[in-house]
Amino acid sequence: MHLYSTQTGQVERFTPRNGAVGLYVCGVTPYDTTHVGHAFTFLAFDVLLQYLRFDGHDVTYVQNVTNIDDDILRKARELGTTWDKLGEQETAKFRQDMRDLNALDPDHFVRATDYIPAMVDMIGTLIETGHAYETAGSVYFSIESDRDFGKLSHLPRPEMLPVANERGNVPDDPNKRDPLDFVLWQAAQPGEPSWDTPWGAGRPGWHIECSAMATTLLGPTVDIHGGGGDLIFPHHECEISQSEHATGVSPFVRYWMHTGMVEYQNAKMSKSLGNLVLVRDVLETYSADALRLYLFSNHYRSAWEYRDEEIDEWAGLAADLREAADFPAYGIEQVVDVVPYRERFINAMDDDLNTPVAVQALREIGQAILEAPEDDDVRDAQDTLTELADILGLTLTD
């Protein structure tokens, strides 16, 4: 199997360590979930998980929930509720949406607030080793201490600050030594939740949460770490710096994988723009198979635009595959041979999860079954269709 590495910019052969694979995917900040952009990302990694296990690998899949965050606090205030109640409600919705899409549950579905002690330990180590500093009860990572900062995104220094500022950085924080230094621990503010630490009460920064959860559950080196492409910088860049300097182990991640952004109505699908297509709304009209086929008709690394009318085509394919799988198989003549299509499917999945080609192979298997003469034996072909459809998380039911 070959996977595209964001860090090297190349498709590389995937080699697991000792037959075991640690997979960590950055999950949702639970408010206004679950839109089709979320589904595209998490179903891509669901397929990766299913294919790795199909290929015989022992995979431990960790997905997190960022249940304490500036956006959570802001949204809770707008709704007149508490941050933890909002987080639990939206997390439950997200998990139900993903199950309705036939996604496998992660082995570890973890909330950031359950790992505060691990975060405090990492931050303490970074301070002791000179990679972080405390000012007025807040702690910051010093990017000057990391000569390799930027090795994932490869952004030139002048381009880093504008991107970071768009994604939560506060460049004019008077407690910082450098505008790009990122917060590891935020001093307590009135009306906000806080936890006690050696530096005073406060709450964790965004980036340290994932480092603590990933290293606690998967060890200092993670085989595959994924998320949406908008997380490459600063989130994943910062994760690398703080993790490698806290554990003393490099690399923190062996393969970085990122999904493309999904647009809707000519703009990136996002909460802030309000142009969301919610999964629960789509599933009122279409099956999970139809939506999965539509999503997988796009390569996971591609940016693309969701169009309401296009899902009809994939609903039709879902119906055809369902009919082919359920077709009465009484033939005793020539066996319908779909081995070439199966090989095409497997080769496509080995080629950086090329799901558009894999979906086309499924289409051709379905056609071969439905177009076979009545006396032909299609049972092996049906078994193959069911086996491969399962890898893509298709139920072949209405």
Nearest to 170 by CA among 120, 234, 227, 125: 234
Q: Is 239 exposed, middle or buried (0-12, 13-18, 19+ CB in 10 A)?
A: buried
Quick one: pLDDT band at residue 116, thresholds 50, 70, 90? Answer: very high
Q: List the CATH number of the domain containing 345.
A: 1.20.120
Quick one: pLDDT band at residue 246, thresholds 50, 70, 90? Answer: very high
Q: List the CATH number of the domain containing 94.
A: 3.40.50.620
Is there a single domain that holds both residue 211 and residue 290? no
- How many Å apart are CA 189 and CA 79, to the nearest integer? 20
Does residue 187 have a pLDDT over 90?
Answer: yes
**How many domains would you assign to the chain?**
2
pLDDT of residue 327: 85
| Owning domain of residue 338 | 285-391
pLDDT of residue 188: 95
Q: Summarize the confidence of residues 89-107 as an average pLDDT.
A: 97
The answer as to whether 271 is a domain residue is: no
Is there a single domain that holds both residue 249 and residue 316? no
Is there a single domain that holds both residue 198 and residue 342? no
> What's the predicted TM-score (pTM) here?
0.96
Is there a single domain that holds both residue 214 and residue 327? no
- How many Å apart are CA 166 and CA 210, to the nearest integer? 20
Give the strand pairing for 267-268 and 262-264: antiparallel
Asked if 221 contacts 252 with a C-beta cutoff of 8 angstroms, the reply is yes
The answer as to whether 140 is a domain residue is: yes
Is there a single domain that holds both residue 259 and residue 297? no
The dihedral through the CA atoms of 113, 115, 117, 123 has a sign that is negative
- How many Å apart are CA 394 and CA 101, to the nearest integer? 9
Q: Summarize the confidence of residues 168-193 as an average pLDDT.
A: 96
Is there a single domain that holds both residue 109 and residue 213? yes
Is there a single domain that holds both residue 163 and residue 225? yes
Query: What pLDDT digit, counting tens, does each position of 44-82 carry?
Result: 999 999 999 999 999 999 999 999 999 899 999 999 999
